[in-house]
Structure 1
């Protein structure tokens, strides 16, 4: 094992996307996003590797180097995608970890596929890791990997970070094979969460389910000390700032304002089309404000970008139908020729297009029913170098603990959503500027690079690292 890599990232997806070059040939380009931005430089400078799936079923792509990073693809069959990814990961674990916003589905064959794929990830990682390497495993699709990897390679230093919420003990206990999932996480030396309460839930579960004795932020398991701690993730602030200063992006922002109506104030939502994001409740609240005359089509417009997500899963197909039906109803009742109150975009947008929207926006609506963090809120704040604009933010996001100068709302309460929207629209400019200035200071002080360095320093030495 001595000729392997000293730092290995393990995630469901590789940090690259397959694209078609100018010559028509297939090539790999680095994926956008904060996680890749934070970890790719570390992997590159440390001679590291990244273990993950290419994103295509039955893809037999072999190991290769892209942008200075060694990629070790883990192949998934169409059945794996159906059972491990869309099944156990996204129809069982995802809804349960998000407080049962939708009812989880439990199927034995999904659990078996999840275990088999997790083992494949662990074996691939064991093959590429050097003696004593540091391995960082990511997210809910790979909960079993730390323990599997530990059994294969006890010499490794293993960290795990959960990007989504970790549920209360009572909810986790509903999972079939619950102890197996918990033991999977306990295979790590450091388990990181978005919020302190999630780490507490994990430690309480270790006591309740396995009879362990947690103390402070750690628990002894099989002769090792496992540390559980919060590391709130952030964004690549420098990249957002660069885009916000780009003249082309600023010009696009001005064009958007003109197209929507310079005299209208813009409300914006940007989300994956997921039932946890509160899109239905947000659109309903805006419709009621129009019905009550609190806002009018001549004064305010809502733009909702809904990125397609998991559309083979029935719950997501049904959500799309409900949202589009409600948008159609509102536009039919309150719109005019050439001027509608809701612009609904069921499509992905480039980083440049999103930042242009952020710059054009008067009120950003980030109102998930439950979210581990929500990086859109932080992106909006980082983009507003002009210190203008207001943020309406769900209390049930991890971001609410850091961005408490936002207009905080309970997204389960349509009346409270309406209150937050109106308060943000009516707030005096100087109040909005003060709130934005404070939030920007927080985001700039805690970017994704600091998040990654803090996690890895804690993995190296939990007692020396900053808490």
Structure 2
């Protein structure tokens, strides 16, 4: 069995006691895959090292997994991370051309850091290693490794949406981005819609040709493209939710509700999440439903995100002001419609909060998958489950057929869906819950990991006969 090498923007190095610092399901699944193969996890430490260039790695072994991390200097963080990755690629992939800020200096920093990562990673590789690169921060990494002579199978997984050709082509260096992706052996995307968009970018824009069977040829290299919808650690999260009612935060929240119905939303502070539109929809629901006033509370948990990016700082102020305005207009001396929490809450506490909620609002304007939707359903009491209200623009909507699917841009319709979720009879709620849980159990994060690595390690190139020409 080949060794697995995982490359991600940040690496959750375990503590000396051996526990992984990051408790997220993805980190747990990748760590499990690494342990089963024996492997290496490489990436940024999350630390900033003043003005020093990337020139050394901190390497630690925990069992059969090696963690190799590098610090970035302030310039690297500004240009590679806060700049090109999160002010150009992130908004572009979320269809926000109005927020896409392209800078050639940031672009140069993005490619410079990827080149430095390749230079540090290459000496650590073995000839039969299987390399799995994660997300938009590291698109050029395979091309840099190929330039250095690395011939290993290299896969890439794109965790966020992939935009259509007309959106991608607004980026001045979109051809370089596509060339970088063509250097991989397998490009994994979240949904079939993302695959369709990627194919349009590749073929319609003349960067490559379709060979059939999800194979493409571009810049002299053949590679596969496929949809691999990511899951959660379902059984673990079910158990966490069952125990979550004992969590102090969940217990205090339930007591403070005084038998009011709870509606919950959990998101990073990001313009792609539709938090402002969601607050407007909940406000409209209260206005439309006099009986809900004083009897339904919306809890929005929104940890700060990328505060160094100006658009995020502006958004933090806007959401706080909107929440205050709604509470001032609709609240009473003994009740406010919205509780807005601007800090991180542990997964154990979230599991308990999901379980006591009558409805979960997951209404992004655009999202690759959105695991909150899956965690909310997994956390429910099978005998008295809450209802998921889900945006049609989240990748999860392609799988979660028991959710109430909404257009987050339609305030009135989303408000009506909230009312429907709150008043839905228990039999209907159980039916919706039971239609989703088998899929969450079967297609969990471990299955996602296995399915991707199986394709990456076993795929063989198609025959050359009958190849389709460029369109």
Give the distance between the partners of 2:290 and 2:144, measured in 1 at CA. Answer: 57
Task: State yes or no: 1:94 paired with 2:90.
Answer: yes
Report the equivalent of 1:58.
Answer: 49
Aligned counterpart in structure 1 of residue 424 of structure 2, from 427, 430, 435: 427
Residues 318-337 of structure 1: pairs in structure 2 closer than 5 A: 318-337=314-333
Q: Is the 8 A contact 2:243 2:352 kept in 1?
A: no
Report the equivalent of 2:468.
Answer: none
Task: State yes or no: 1:383 paired with 2:417.
Answer: no
Report the equivalent of 2:452.
Answer: 455
- Computed over aligned residues only, the root mean square deviation of the Cα atoms, in angstroms, reads 2.1
Report the equivalent of 1:188.
Answer: 184
1:359–1:214 Cα change, 3 Å = same
The number of equivalent residue pairs is 453
Give the distance between the partners of 2:20 and 2:224, measured in 1 at CA. Answer: 35
Report the equivalent of 2:68.
Answer: 72
Give the distance between the partners of 1:337 and 1:101, measured in 2 at CA. Answer: 43
Q: Which has the higher relative contact order, 1 or 2, with Cα contacts under 8 A spaced 6 or more apart?
A: 2
Report the equivalent of 1:156.
Answer: 152
Report the equivalent of 2:396.
Answer: 399
Residues 403-422 of structure 1: pairs in structure 2 closer than 5 A: 403-422=400-419
Q: Is the 8 A contact 1:254 1:360 kept in 2?
A: no
Q: CA deviation at 1:249?
A: 3.5
Report the equivalent of 1:268.
Answer: 264
TM-score (norm 2): 0.91
Report the equivalent of 2:466.
Answer: none
Q: Is the 8 A contact 1:278 1:368 kept in 2?
A: yes
Give the distance between the partners of 1:375 and 1:140, measured in 2 at CA. Answer: 18
SS at match of 2:166: helix
Residues 301-320 of structure 1: pairs in structure 2 closer than 5 A: 301-320=297-316
SS at match of 1:105: coil
1:104–1:248 Cα change, 3 Å = same
Aligned counterpart in structure 2 of residue 244 of structure 1, from 229, 241, 252: 241
- The gaps in structure 1 that reach 5 residues or longer are 22-26
Residues 139-288 of structure 1: pairs in structure 2 closer than 5 A: 139-216=135-212, 217-246=214-243, 249=246, 253-262=250-259, 264-288=260-284
SS at match of 1:74: strand
Aligned counterpart in structure 1 of residue 344 of structure 2, from 348, 351, 358: 348
Residues 12-51 of structure 1: pairs in structure 2 closer than 5 A: 12-16=9-13, 29-51=20-42
Give the distance between the partners of 2:138 and 2:249, measured in 1 at CA. Answer: 40
Give the distance between the partners of 1:96 and 1:248, measured in 2 at CA. Answer: 40
Q: Is the 8 A contact 2:13 2:67 kept in 1?
A: no
Q: Is the 8 A contact 2:244 2:348 kept in 1?
A: no
Report the equivalent of 2:441.
Answer: 444
Give the distance between the partners of 2:268 and 2:287, measured in 1 at CA. Answer: 27
- For residues 142-167 of structure 1, give each alpha carbon's deviation from its aligned partner in whole angstroms, at most 9, with x where no partner exists: 11112111222442010000000000
Q: CA deviation at 1:222?
A: 4.7
Q: CA deviation at 1:380?
A: 0.8
Give the distance between the partners of 2:207 and 2:44, measured in 1 at CA. Answer: 36
Give the distance between the partners of 2:441 and 2:381, measured in 1 at CA. Answer: 11
SS at match of 1:214: strand
Between stretches 250-259 and 279-288, larger displacement belongs to: 250-259
SS at match of 1:197: helix
SS at match of 1:65: strand
Q: Is the 8 A contact 1:6 1:131 kept in 2?
A: no
Give the distance between the partners of 2:118 and 2:57, measured in 1 at CA. Answer: 18
- For residues 85-131 of structure 1, give each alpha carbon's deviation from its aligned partner in whole angstroms, at most 9, with x where no partner exists: 01100111000100117520011100000000111222222121111
Q: CA deviation at 1:7?
A: 1.5
TM-score (norm 1): 0.92
Give the distance between the partners of 2:288 and 2:380, measured in 1 at CA. Answer: 31
1:141–1:415 Cα change, 3 Å = same
Give the distance between the partners of 1:279 and 1:344, measured in 2 at CA. Answer: 11
Between stretches 361-370 and 222-231, larger displacement belongs to: 222-231
Give the distance between the partners of 1:235 and 1:67, measured in 2 at CA. Answer: 25
Residues 113-152 of structure 1: pairs in structure 2 closer than 5 A: 113-152=109-148
SS at match of 1:132: coil
Give the distance between the partners of 1:50 and 1:42, measured in 2 at CA. Answer: 11
Give the distance between the partners of 1:456 and 1:419, measured in 2 at CA. Answer: 42
Q: Is the 8 A contact 2:302 2:344 kept in 1?
A: yes
